Structure 1
Amino acid sequence: MEIHGPGGISGPDRPELKPTEAQRPDKAASTDKVADEVNISEQAQLLEKLSQVPAVRMEKVEEIKRLIEAGEYETSERIEGAARKLLEEL
């Protein structure tokens, strides 16, 4: 086998060049562009907001514990207020 010039190998022994992935035309490509769309339900949005709210306001719990231990929590005003709120909800 003889090699002549910068062309390298000549003749029937020359390997065929196959297009690489980047050179191949994309069959899936289309001229029509479709935008993706995501819809989040109202329930999912509310659950997201709820997950960001602390389950317990610890400062309020500690204050009520302190008042109960001191015997100052069960006052007539608090009992009347709780009864009033309960009746409003019914």
Structure 2
Amino acid sequence: MYKLVGELSQNNARKQVSAGNAAIAQGQLDFDFSDLLQIDSTAVTSMIEWQRQASQLKKTLHFHSVPASLVSLIQLYGLTGQFQLSPAERH
């Protein structure tokens, strides 16, 4: 499982996308968002890019522990059906 840590925002999106694409190329198809502390709408575009990369390889990504704020953005943009999402558990 590929674990995203810290931040996924406009500050580091290019770096995160590159690292995610490398993980996909190595066969990682499960992305864990549980250790992300900060996100913005750039996270959605990053997910789209990772999905595109996986699709080119005829693979399906699964996104785990997706923060509620990110799920809300995905819903707002009408992209819910584009991703395999497992929302973060509420405590």
TM-score range, shorter chain: under 0.3
> What's the TM-score, normalizing by structure 1?
0.25
Structure that is richer in strand per residue: 2
Q: Mark the structure with the bigger radius of gyration.
A: 1
